[in-house]
Amino acid sequence: MRRSTAARLVTIPAVTLAVLAAGGAAAPPAAPPSASKGPLPVKEPVAVGYGGAVASVDADASAAGIEVLRGGGNAVDAAVATAAALGVTEPYSAGIGGGGFFVYYDAKSRKVHTIDGRETAPGSADASLFLEYGKPIPFEEGMTSGLGVGTPGTPATWDAALDAWGSRPLRQLLKLAERLAKDGFTVDATFRSQTQANEARFRDFPATAELFLPGGQLPVVGSVFKNPELARTYDEIGRKGTGTLYQGAIARDIVNTVRKPVVREGATRVVRPGDLTLRDLAAYGTEQRRPTKVSYRGLDVYGMGPASSGGTSVGEALNILERTDLSGLSQAKYLHRFVEASRIAFADRGRWVGDPAFEDVPVRELLSQRFADSRECLIRDDGVLTSPLAPGDPWNPAACASGGTAAPTTYEGENTTHLTASDKWGNVVAYTLTIESTGGSGITVPGRGFLLNNELTDFSFAPANPAVHDPNLPGPGKRPRSSISPTIVLDDRDLPVLALGSPGGATIITTVLQTLTGVVDRGLPLVDAIAAPRASQRNQPTTELEPALWNSPLRAELEALGHAFRQNPEIGAATGIQRLPDGRWLAAAEKVRRGGGSAMVVRPAA
């Protein structure tokens, strides 16, 4: 969610440190955060120091993670606390009604692990989920409906991560976010503007309108926004465990809401019910998957495997770029290579990547240097590839050949959030979580304080190209393809060098790729690589450019080669963490995008 440049007028109460230490409730602070007269958390895009670090889009959320680290928690504990706080302050981007992908580096074993917490389709779903009379329903009717809601994976992800690698119980970690929801945070211009953008559909759902349009009005900038229902929901999950969301009272509320969405009297919107059942929720489980891995410039780059296409697409593009010395190129030639490698990677992901429980995804072949070389030779220095580009055959790579018919890139919602965390022991987390569109489905679970996702709209409503098998059609219990790309980079000693990720739908892949090459190849400081103006090519006729590139002479240079562009006011909102040679951590976030991000460390140092 985009945030204003002004610092949010709220602090995490100091008493929360005592809560963490005691593992239970503590007396409320003398005054709510909004009335605090003390120093306020300021959004800083970069921080350097010791003891661990957290970077997110939000100062309150980053502060929650830092409190956990100061209380002796590890990076996994901090990531869960930060994510729970983002569910309060970034409710249109993330929350317990959604899902995500969690990548973890374990300092003791020097291994990278991943958790797939992607939402799943109901057991009744099939390839006709979004079809009516054989034709796709309007996208809006899938987006704002029970039909687009998948079984949430975020609470199960927290459980899985804490069970495997955490050191604090979930109940303890939820206390910070619970207090933030109860006491409130200060509304900024972006929270108001994104509420306004959703106002029409929010008004059609009484529970959503009551929560996000208090008194029937848009929230006022500078006012304190409270969510006592979410505070009570966090408390219930803390006391009873996440089982209450998958098999208990919250599960029943979710299913009732999806199957019979409550719409205001007189609304003209077509709101389709979904077919999610208690059995679907009870059957949900996360998956610990093998991370993707490629070697690039002597570094090992680990990412998220299918059903995310992030790891395979970023990895394939890096392999394509491996043969070119990007550090010695002009900015225009560098961008040309970056754009063309992205185009090729998206052509291949559209044909080959889906949920591995349903599709034979050639992960190893897609990430082979042999396949990358067969695709890299398509790139010309004096011309541009035509999109949609046909995919290659990773099982039988042929130099400069494309096989089959092109499949256009389908739409993915762009409002997601990413956090990155590290601790004093050297553990690192890159975690991207989402409810899909800005505001998800628009449907709030009555009395529970959170929006439901519309992640199933990431499926292809119909085959992207009827002549080609589409690996991303709906199926029973199937996970829709994602572009989420949490990434961790290790050196030749298997020590962490860099971790990063971004929101942005399908632009996540290009944002992570551009940031990585900005640091590794172009020599940019991490915070500057994150801030650099972005381009995004996703096997489409035109490449998206942010205004700084759109208005730059570079655009004319690239157009002279044959590139075509359209403008996108903002692409992604990355965060990252870097381990410096002297043992310090550097946390970095956006300088401007989404109102700027918040980078914090436990003990700041110059």
Structure confidence by residue, pLDDT tens digits, 347-368: 999 999 999 999 999 999 999 9
Which pLDDT score, from 0 to 100, does residue 480 have? 97
**Is residue 194 a contact partner of residue 435, using CB atoms and an 8 Å limit?**
no
Confidence of residue 582 (pLDDT cuts 50, 70, 90): very high
Residue 32 has pLDDT above 90, yes or no: no
Measured CA to CA, the distance from residue 568 to residue 534 in angstroms comes to: 9
Which pLDDT score, from 0 to 100, does residue 222 have? 86
Measured CA to CA, the distance from residue 23 to residue 25 in angstroms comes to: 7
Strand ranges (E), 349-495: 416-423, 428-434, 487-490
Residue 566 has pLDDT above 80, yes or no: yes
Rounded to the nearest 10 degrees, how much is the dihedral formed by the CA atoms of 248, 250, 253, 259? -80
Confidence of residue 51 (pLDDT cuts 50, 70, 90): very high
Omega within 30 of 0 (cis) for the link into 32: no
Residue 169 has pLDDT above 60, yes or no: yes
Query: What residue segments make up the domains of the chain, in order of their start?
Result: 15-287+414-458, 292-412+478-578
Query: How many Cβ atoms sit within 10 Å of the Cβ of residue 523?
Result: 10
Structure confidence by residue, pLDDT tens digits, 127-145: 999 999 999 999 999 999 9
Which pLDDT score, from 0 to 100, does residue 499 have? 98
Structure confidence by residue, pLDDT tens digits, 183-231: 999 888 888 989 999 999 999 999 999 999 999 999 998 899 999 999 9
Confidence of residue 595 (pLDDT cuts 50, 70, 90): confident
What would the DSSP string read from start to end of 26-48? -PPPSS-GGG--SPPP---SEEE
Structure tokens at 258: 């999806």
Measured CA to CA, the distance from residue 35 to residue 391 in angstroms comes to: 57
16, 195, 312, 416: which is the annotated catalytic residue? 416
**What fold characterizes domain 292-412+478-578?**
Serum Albumin; Chain A, Domain 1 (1.10.246)
Residue 14 has pLDDT above 60, yes or no: no
Confidence of residue 414 (pLDDT cuts 50, 70, 90): low
Residue 7 has pLDDT above 70, yes or no: no
Which pLDDT score, from 0 to 100, does residue 18 have? 33
Structure confidence by residue, pLDDT tens digits, 368-391: 999 999 999 999 999 999 999 999
Which pLDDT score, from 0 to 100, does residue 464 have? 75
Label residues 489-499 b or e (16+ Cβ within 10 Å = b).
bbeeeeebbbb
**Of 429, 392, 430, which Cα lies nearest the Cα of 508?**
430
Which pLDDT score, from 0 to 100, does residue 413 have? 61
Give the angle subtended at the CA of 154 by the CAs of 153 and 155, to the nearest 5°.
Answer: 100
Our answer to whether residue 16 is catalytic in this structure is no
Query: How many Cβ atoms sit within 10 Å of the Cβ of residue 202?
Result: 25
Judged by DSSP in three states, 102 sits in strand
**Of 274, 572, 290, 555, which Cα lies nearest the Cα of 415?**
572
Measured CA to CA, the distance from residue 363 to residue 345 in angstroms comes to: 13
Residue 572 has pLDDT above 90, yes or no: yes
- Find how far residue 28's CA is from the centre of its chain: 33
Measured CA to CA, the distance from residue 538 to residue 506 in angstroms comes to: 8
Mean pLDDT of the chain: 91
Residue 27 has pLDDT above 90, yes or no: no
**Residue 197 parent element (H or E):** helix 189-197
Which pLDDT score, from 0 to 100, does residue 34 have? 35
What would the DSSP string read from start to end of 534-578? -EE-SSSSSEEE-HHHHTSHHHHHHHHHT--EEE-S-----EEEE
